[in-house]
Structure 1
Amino acid sequence: MYRSLLLGLAGNSAAEALALRYGMRLGASRFVAGTTLGEALAAVKALNGKGIAVTLDHLGEGIRHLDEADGYMGAYLSLLQAMNREAVNGNVSLKPTQMGLALDPVSALDRIRAIVREAELHSLFVRLDMENSPYTTATIELVRQLHREGFSRVGTVIQAYLYRSAVDVKRLTVERINLRLVKGAYKESSSIAFAKRDDVDSNFKRLIKIRLDSGVYTGIATHDETIIDWTRSYAHRRSIPRSAYEFQMLYGIRTPLQESLAREGYTVRCYVPYGERWYPYFVRRLAERPANAAFVLRNMGRRE
Structure 2
Amino acid sequence: MGWNAALRTVILAVIGNSFMRRLAERYGMKLGANRFVAAEALEETIAKVRKLNASGFLVTLDYLGESVKDPELAKEAAATIGHVIDAIRLERLNANVSVKLTQLGLSIDPVLCVELMRQLCRQAKASNNFVRIDMEDSKVTQLTIDVFKQLLAEFDTKTVGLVIQSYLYRSDTDVDDLGLLGANLRIVKGAYHESVQVVFPRKTDVDRNYLKLAKSHLSNGCYTAIATHDRAIIADLKEFADGMKISKLRYEFQMLYGVAEQLQQELVEEGYRVRIYTPFGKQWYPYFTRRIAERPANMWFVLRQLFVK
Task: Output the aligned Cα RMSD.
Answer: 1.2
Counting aligned pairs with the same residue, the percent is 47
Q: Where in structure 2 are the equivalents of 1:262-281 lying within 5 Å?
A: 262-281=268-287
1:119, distance to aligned residue in structure 2 (A): 0.6
Q: More displaced, 102-111 or 232-241?
A: 232-241
Q: 2:209 aligns with which of 203, 225, 244?
A: 203
How many residues end up aligned between the 2 structures? 303
The alpha-carbon deviation at position 14 of structure 1 amounts to 3.4
* Aligned residue in 2 for 1:191: 197
Q: Which one of the candidate residues 249, 256, 266 is aligned to 1:260?
A: 266
Give the equivalent residue in structure 1 for 2:113: 108
**Structure 2 vs 1, CA of residues 67 and 219 (structure 1 numbering), >3 Å: closer, same or farther?**
same
Per-residue CA distance 1:233-282 (angstroms, 9 max, x = gap): 11111111111110000000011111111111000000000001000000
- SS of the equivalent of 2:161 reads strand
Instruction: Describe the SS at the equivalent of 1:301.
Output: coil
Cα contact 1:10–1:280 (8 A) shared by 2: no
The answer to whether the Cα contact below 8 Å between 1:52 and 1:262 also exists between their aligned partners in 2 is yes
* Aligned twin of 2:3: none
8 Å contact kept, 2:11–2:296: no
SS state of the match for residue 306, structure 2? helix
Q: How far apart are residue 209 of structure 1 and its match? A: 1.0
- 5+ residue gaps in structure 2? 1-5
Choose 6-15 or 200-209, whichever is displaced more.
Answer: 6-15
**Is contact 2:41-2:280 (8 Å) kept?**
yes
Measured after TM superposition, the shift of residue 298 of structure 1 is: 1.8
The corresponding residue for 1:36 is: 41
CA contact (8 A) 2:62 2:277 kept: yes
Kindly indicate whether the alpha-carbon contact (under 8 Å) linking 1:93 and 1:129 is maintained by their aligned counterparts in 2.
Answer: yes
User: 1:4 deviation in Å?
Assistant: 1.1
The one-letter amino acid of 1:79's match is: V
The aligned residue for residue 90 of structure 1 is 95
Residue 216 (structure 1) aligned to one of 217, 222, 228: 222
Equivalent residue for 1:118? Answer: 123
| TM-score normalised per structure 2 | 0.95
> Could you list the runs of 5+ residues in structure 1 that have no partner in the other structure?
none
| Residue 48 of structure 2 is aligned to residue 69 of structure 1 | no
Tell me if the contact between 1:178 and 1:216 (Cα under 8 Å) persists in the aligned partners: yes
1:137 and 2:142 are equivalent in the alignment? yes
